[in-house]
Structure 1
Amino acid sequence: MSLRRAAALLLVAAATVLTPATASAATSPAGLYGSADPTYDGVWRQGYALLALHTAGVTPSAAAVDWLTGQQCADGGFPSFRADTAKPCVPKAEDTNATGIALQALAVLGGHSATVNRGTAWLTAVQNPDGGWPYNPGNPSDPDSTAVVVGALAAADHDPLATRSRTGRTPFDALHGFQFGCAAKPADRGSYGYPMNGKLSVNAKATADAVRAAEGAGFVVTPPPAASAPAAPACGDGRNAADAYARLAPKAGGAAGAVWLAGQLTAGGGHLTALTPGADKPTPDYGTTADAVVALAAGGDSGTAKAAYTWLAGHSTAWSHGNPAALSQLILAAHATGADPHNAAGADLVRQLTNLGPAPAAGPAKASVTTRTDQAAHKSKKSSSGPGTWLIVGVIFVASIGFGFLLSARRRQS
C-alpha cells in the first residue's frame, strides 16, 4: 500500500472512531465488499476480494464484478472510488494502484478483455521515464505502485520487461533504483526503500512488493513446487564493491531482497513489526507480513513463507475482522503456501469474506461451514465488543501498515 493510500485510510478510520454515528449513516454501494466508507479504498478492496475468492474456488456474484467494472473511467484508468458512475472521471483522481489491482482481478476472472486492455493501455501511457509508476500520474515513481502495475501487466499477459518507457527503461530498472546494495550498511543490503522527501529509507513493505514484482508476479501466487533458499551477492572491497548489486538481473535482485526479508521475519519470530504514531514500542505489522508471505513464496522460499503464514493464522483475528482487504490478504497468503483458508487456526477466512459482500454465484461447500472460531468472533461482536472497538482496531491496523513502517523502517529493523 502506498503512503498516500495508507494516510487517507488512516484519516477516514480515525474520523469514524471520533464520530461513530457516521458509520451507520454511510451506505455501502450494492455489490461492494465491506461496509466502511469506500471513498479511498473501494476499488482496492473489491479487487482484493475478487482475487481471493477466485483462488478459494468461489465464483463471485455478478453484482460484485459489475460494480468493479463500472468503476473504470473512459480512458481506461480507475480511481479509488466513483460515487456517481454517470459522471465523467476527474483524471487527477485516477491512480495506478486501483487500476492495477482491478485489472489483476478482472484478468484472473476472465471474460473482461476489453476492460483489461483499456486499463493496460492507460497504465503504459502513464509510465514514468525511469520505467516505474507513481500512485497518481505525474509524480515520482515508487516501488509499491510499480509492483502493483507489474502484477497487472503480467496478469494481462503483457511482458513487464517489454514494457518500456519513452527513454527505454523497464519497470525493473525503476525497482533496481530503490534497492540498497554494497554501498549501504550490511544490515540494509538487499532491501528496497521507499522514497520520502527526497530520501530513500529501508522499508519492509517496499521490499516485499519489489521481491514479488521481480518474479513478475501479482497478488496471486501458487506454492512453489520445491523449496529454495534465496541468495544475495557478496560485497567485496574497494571500487568494485557496489557492482555486485549493480549487475543483478531482476530475479537476482529480488532474491537478494528476499534474503533481507526472510531475515527480518525470522528475527521477529515469524512476523514483521511497525512503530505506529505515538507508540513507544513496535507492534505486529500484519499486512506487510502477509505481503512478505506471498513475495517469498513467489521466489521459492516456501519454508520462511509457511512459518510466517502460520504466525498470521494464529494471531491476526482482530486485525482482519470485518475487513475485506485484510481477509483477502490472508486468503492469498494461504494460497501461496498451500494452506487451507477455510481453516486458519480454526477460522474460515473464505466464509468471513463472503459474508461481507453479495452472496457468491457458486463456491465449495466448505464456504458455508461455521467454525468454533467464527462463532466465538460473532458472539464477541454481539455481546462484548461494540462497533467502536473494531473501528479502533481498524485505526491501529491502518496505522501499522501506513505511517509506522514508512516513517520508521530504518530505526526498527523490521
Structure 2
Amino acid sequence: MRRRVLTVALLCVASLFVPSTASATHDRADAASGWLARQLVDGERFEAEFGGVKYPDQGLTVDAVFAFAAARSSDDHADRAVAWLARPEITAGYVGSGGEAYAGAHAKLLLAAEVAGKNPASFGGVDLPAGLRGLLTPSGRFSDRSAFGDFSNAFTQSLALLALDRTPAGAPASAVDFLVGTQCPDGGFPLTFGATPCASDVDSTAMVAQALRATGRNADAREGLTWLVGVQATGGGFGVGTPNANSTGLAAQALKSGGRFLAAAKARAFLRAVQVGCSGPVADRGAIAYDATGFDPLTATRATAQGVLGLAGVGLAALESGGRNTAPVLTCP
C-alpha cells in the first residue's frame, strides 16, 4: 500500500512539469521540438538580451518554425510564432525599412512564410519575393542595401535560392551560377565570399548543398556532400575543433536529404548523445546541448532548433507546416 501511495505521489509531482498540451513521445526529434516550443516567450517568440534590454529575435524564432515543421509537431506554437513574425513592426524590424534592406532576413522570412503556407507577397505588409529580388546584384549575388555595409554570405545566398525556388518564377539562374562559382577547390563552400584562400565551412556547405539540389545543380551539391563526409569527426559530429550540435544538425539534414544515409545516421547519433535524456532534470529533457560538455541554457535553444533539423532529417526544400499541435515530452520510465 505504501509503495502504491508513493508511486501516485511521484506521478502527481511529475505531472506538474508537463503542460496539458503535451503528449508523450519516444521520438527524439519530437522531444526536442516540444522542449523548444516550451521555451518560447508567451508561446510565440524568442528574444535576445543586450545590456539588460530584451529585443525581438526574429531569426531564432524562424529557426524554431523550421524545427517544428521538420519534426511535424508543435504546430500550434509554429502558428503563433508566424503570426508574431507577421506583425508589421516585427517584419520591418527584421527585413529593414527606411532605406535599409537585408537580403538574408528577406530570404529567411520568405522561406518561413512559404513553409507556413502564408502569402509571402503580403507578409507583415511586405512583398517578400519582390523585396528579395530587388536585392539581386548584376553578379548574381543577393546583397544588403544598408548604410552599415553588406553582410550577405553563403547562408544568405542559399536561403534566397531555397525560398525563390518555391515561387512561380523560380530562383534566378545568375544567382545559382554565382553560388556554384564560390566553391573551394576541395569541394566545400566558404561562408564569406571572395576570401583568399578559399576556406570551406561545414555550416555553409550544408546550406549550399541543399540550395543547389533544390535548383537542379546536383553534381555540385554532391561534391559539397562528399567534402562534408570527409570532415566528419569519429563520433559523428561536425564543427571546427570540438563538434557541436549546431553544425551537426545542419550537416545531418543536408546529408540525409542528399542520400548520404550512413554519414547522416552517425551525425544523428552524435545529436542524441548530447540531448538531455531521462537522467536529466524533467524541465530540460528533450533539449539538445551545444556540445558534449552538457546542457547550458545560454546555448541550448539555438542548438536545439538546429539540432532538430538533423534528428528529423527533412531538408529545407521539403519543409511544410501542418504537423501535430502538441508539444511532445520525452517518455521516461
Whether the 8 Å CA contact 2:43–2:80 is kept in 1: the answer is yes
**Residues 256-335 of structure 1: matches in 2 within 5 Å?**
256-265=174-183, 268-273=185-190, 281-317=197-233, 319=239, 321-335=242-256
Matched letter for residue 79 of structure 1 = E
- Give structure 2 stretches of 5+ with no counterpart: 1-25, 279-291, 294-333
Paired amino acid for 2:163 = A
Name the structure 1 match of 2:112: 152
Q: 1:158 to 1:127 in 2, by over 3 A?
A: farther
Is 1:64 aligned to residue 24 of structure 2? no
Question: How high is the TM-score relative to the length of structure 2?
Answer: 0.62
> What residue is the counterpart of 2:153 in the other structure?
203
Deviations 1:338-379 (A, max 9, x none): 221x336xx81111111110349xxxxxxxxxxxxxxxxxxx
* Shift in alpha-carbon separation, 1:69–1:61, aligned structure 2, 3 A: same
Question: What is the distance in 2 between the residues matched to 1:94 and 1:322?
Answer: 29
Q: Are residues 170 and 250 of structure 1, via their aligned partners in 2, closer, same or farther at CA, if it must alter by over 3 Å?
A: farther
Would you say how many aligned residue pairs link Structure 1 and Structure 2? 247
Residue 69 of structure 2 corresponds to 107
1:261-296 CA distance string (max 9 Å, x none): 11222x5331223579xx984532222121111111
Q: Does 1:172 pair with 2:129?
A: yes
Provide closer, same or farther for how the CA distance between residues 93 and 135 of structure 1 changes in structure 2, counting only shifts above 3 A. Answer: farther
Q: CA deviation at 1:63?
A: 4.9
Q: Which amino acid aligns with 1:192?
A: F
Instruction: Say whether the 8 Å CA contact 2:140–2:178 is kept in structure 1.
Output: yes
Cα distance change on mapping 1:144 and 1:274 into 2, 3 Å: closer
| Aligned-pair Cα RMSD in Å | 3.6
**Using a 3 Å threshold, how does the CA distance of structure 1 residues 160 and 59 change in structure 2: closer, same or farther?**
farther
State percent identity of aligned pairs.
Answer: 21
* C-alpha separation in 1, matches of 2:27 and 2:106: 29
**1:132-185 deviation per Cα after TM superposition (whole angstroms, max 9, x unaligned):** 762799994422222222232222222424x3453xx4111221122112xxxx
Whichever residue aligns with residue 338 of structure 1, its letter is: G
Residue matched to 1:118: 80
Q: What residue is the counterpart of 2:170 in the other structure?
A: 251
1:214 aligned residue: 164
Change in Cα spacing, 1:176 to 1:358, as seen in structure 2 (3 Å) is: same
**Alpha-carbon offset, residue 211 of structure 1:** 1.1
**Letter matched to residue 170 of structure 2:** K
Matched residue type, 1:177: G
| 8 Å CA contact 2:120, 2:128 repeated in 1 | yes
Residues 1:201 and 1:303: Cα distance change in structure 2 (over 3 Å): same
Could you tell me how far apart the structure 1 residues matched to 2:205 and 2:112 are?
Answer: 21
Which gives a bigger RCO, structure 1 or 2 (Cα 8 Å, sep 6+)?
Answer: 2
CA distance, structure 2, for counterparts of residue 192 and residue 329 of structure 1: 22
Judged with a 3 Å threshold, the aligned counterparts in structure 2 of structure 1 residues 74 and 145 are, in CA distance, closer, same or farther, namely same
Checking the alignment, whether the CA contact within 8 Å between 2:44 and 2:84 is kept in structure 1 is yes
SS class of match (2:28): coil
* Change in 2 beyond 3 A, CA 1:77/1:202: closer
Where 1:343 maps in the other structure, the secondary structure is: helix
AA aligned opposite 2:108: V
Deviation, 1:125, is 0.7
Partner-residue secondary structure (3-state), 1:93: strand
DSSP 3-state at the match of 1:103? helix
Cα contact 2:189–2:204 (8 A) shared by 1: yes
Is contact 1:104–1:152 with CA below 8 Å preserved after alignment?
yes
Alpha-carbon offset, residue 336 of structure 1: 3.0
Alpha-carbon separation, structure 1, partners of 2:85 and 2:98: 12
Poorly superposed stretches of 4+, deviation over 6 Å: 135-139
- Conservation of the 8 A alpha-carbon contact between 2:113 and 2:123: no
CA contact (8 A) 2:161 2:211 kept: yes
Once residues 192 and 113 of structure 2 are traced to their aligned partners in structure 1, the CA distance between those partners, rounded to angstroms, is: 33
Q: Conserved in 2, the CA contact under 8 Å of 1:127 and 1:133?
A: yes
In structure 2, C-alpha distance between the alignment counterparts of 1:274 and 1:159, rounded to whole Å? 30
- Judged with a 3 Å threshold, the aligned counterparts in structure 2 of structure 1 residues 343 and 153 are, in CA distance, closer, same or farther, namely same
In the other structure, the counterpart of 1:356 is: 274
Matched to 2:164, the amino acid is A
For the residue of structure 2 that corresponds to 1:284, the secondary structure is coil
